[in-house]
């Protein structure tokens, strides 16, 4: 059983080297994205001032009181980082420092080698495994633990549980080293805050949840889990892993739904040679919805989740849900029927919030069945490409 001997210290900040390298990487990509959006395409943004005010209020990590989760449809391989090119560069340079978004990226695409792994790690992308390509995929993988913790309070006085590199739990332990591992080479604490995305991963990755400066962070997620390009701009069902980011943080994060249009024409899955080049001269629209009243939308689900977690903890011999387990779901809760239903309902409500933004764009309502897993069997048996229902899909 895990105990306080398994806790590791947290740090206040990564080294100046790491902070600077990460900030400059994100600004460089944001600059290229903005030049592409406004220099080579026609770009429209809705609801941006309100969203910038929200980001501005979160600039100082010491005064944040909750995390931020942005959620959107996914229609192109360039959605992230391209959509963040709508944020003014001056804003990103000053208010974005220690305040940029975190997101998830496919391990087998974004982390294929050391160079790519360093680039995406510095760009605040966390490695995730896709269930169709890895036995380590799914909503309970190690990176999801980082996601839940990034949306939570992190302090230097309360150490973190880190079972991924624990000599008591593993036959061998690993001392992360840079540049082989994507970690801060000038870290103030030992062992260097890091984790494996899966037990046999060849490298270790920077663990942002072990730094107080990342308390109540901003995370962006594409809950469809794959690119979906449809002429009528319908969305696939939302995979319920996103619900973990709503249900499990001690304080519910602010949730801002978004809707993206036009990036599918920039990199449509039917494109021919030169396939690797994005198309220009397209109309791109990014719409930021209003912050949700998270207590009204998710309050009942979070209450039921905590009651279920407390009950499960007691059955396992603990007085209540232990915060040191934050982001780590025991097997008894992973597939508990009530927990599964809570996650499904939470994902459905998040999808409905994105649909509201879609409606604000004047698009007709979807078939209500579009949000159901069973509906998407009509796509046919293929994983990618042109589906039987006429949509284009790419697993990302």
Q: What single-letter DSSP state applies at residue 211? A: B
Closest CA to 54 of 71, 66, 62, 39: 66
Phi (first) and psi of residue 286, to 5 degrees: -120, 125
pTM over 0.85: yes
Residue linked to tokens 């150490």: 159
- CA–CA separation, 231 and 241 (whole Å): 27
Strands (E), 210-369: 218-221, 226-229, 254-261, 283-288
Which domains are seen in the chain, by residue range? 4-296 (3.40.1130)
274 prior amide bond cis, ω within 30: yes
Pairing of strands 283-288, 254-261: antiparallel
Closest CA to 335 of 249, 240, 197, 211: 240
- List Cα–Cα distances, 180 to 112, 164, 352, in angstroms: 13, 18, 43
Sequential DSSP letters for 130-187: -TTT-TT-STTSHHHHHHHHHTS---SSS-EE-GGG-TTTSSS-----TTTSBS-TT-
Tens place of pLDDT per residue across the chain (396 aa): 555 556 778 899 999 999 999 999 999 999 999 999 999 999 999 999 999 999 999 999 999 999 999 999 999 999 999 999 999 999 999 999 999 999 999 999 999 999 999 999 999 999 999 888 888 899 999 999 999 999 999 888 777 766 555 555 455 567 888 999 999 999 988 888 899 998 888 899 999 999 999 999 999 999 999 999 999 999 999 999 999 999 999 999 999 999 999 999 999 999 998 988 999 999 999 999 999 999 999 999 999 999 999 998 888 887 676 666 788 898 999 999 999 999 999 999 999 999 999 999 999 888 777 777 776 666 667 778 888 878 888 877
């Amino acid at each position: 059983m895990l105990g306080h001997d398994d806790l590791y210290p947290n740090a206040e900040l990564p080294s100046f080297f790491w902070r600077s390298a990460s900030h400059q990487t994100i600004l460089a990509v944001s600059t290229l994205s903005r030049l592409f959006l406004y220099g080579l395409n026609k770009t429209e943004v809705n609801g941006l001032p309100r969203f910038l005010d929200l980001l501005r209020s979160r600039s100082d990590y010491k005064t944040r009181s909750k995390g931020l989760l942005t959620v959107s449809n996914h229609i192109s391989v360039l959605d992230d980082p391209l959509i963040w090119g709508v944020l003014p560069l001056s804003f990103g340079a000053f208010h974005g420092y220690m305040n940029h978004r975190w997101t998830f990226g496919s391990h087998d695409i974004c982390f294929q080698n050391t160079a790519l792994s360093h680039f995406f790690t510095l760009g605040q992308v966390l490695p995730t495994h896709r269930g169709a390509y890895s036995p380590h995929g799914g909503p309970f993988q190690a990176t999801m633990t980082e996601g839940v913790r990034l949306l939570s309070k992190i302090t230097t006085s309360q150490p973190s549980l880190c079972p991924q590199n624990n000599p008591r739990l593993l036959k061998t332990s690993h001392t992360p080293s840079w540049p082989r591992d994507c970690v801060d080479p000038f870290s103030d604490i030992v062992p260097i805050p890091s984790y494996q995305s899966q037990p046999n991963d060849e490298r270790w990755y920077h663990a942002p949840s072990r730094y107080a400066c990342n308390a109540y962070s901003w995370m962006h997620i594409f809950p469809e889990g794959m690119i979906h390009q449809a002429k009528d701009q319908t969305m696939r069902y939302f995979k319920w892993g996103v619900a973990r980011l709503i249900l499990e943080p001690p304080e519910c994060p602010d949730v801002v739904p978004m809707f993206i249009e036009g990036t599918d024409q920039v990199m449509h899955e039917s494109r021919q040679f030169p396939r690797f080049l994005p198309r220009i001269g397209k109309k791109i629209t990014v719409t930021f919805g209003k912050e949700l009243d998270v207590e009204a939308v998710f309050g009942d689900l979070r209450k039921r989740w905590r009651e279920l977690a407390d009950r499960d903890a007691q059955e396992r011999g603990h007085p209540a849900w232990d915060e040191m387990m934050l982001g780590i779901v025991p097997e008894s809760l992973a597939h508990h029927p009530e927990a599964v239903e809570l996650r499904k309902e939470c994902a459905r409500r998040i999808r409905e919030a994105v649909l509201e933004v879609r409606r604000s764009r004047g698009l007709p309502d979807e078939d209500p069945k579009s949000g159901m897993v069973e509906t998407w069997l009509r796509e046919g048996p293929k994983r990618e490409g042109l589906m039987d229902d006429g949509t284009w899909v790419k697993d990302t």
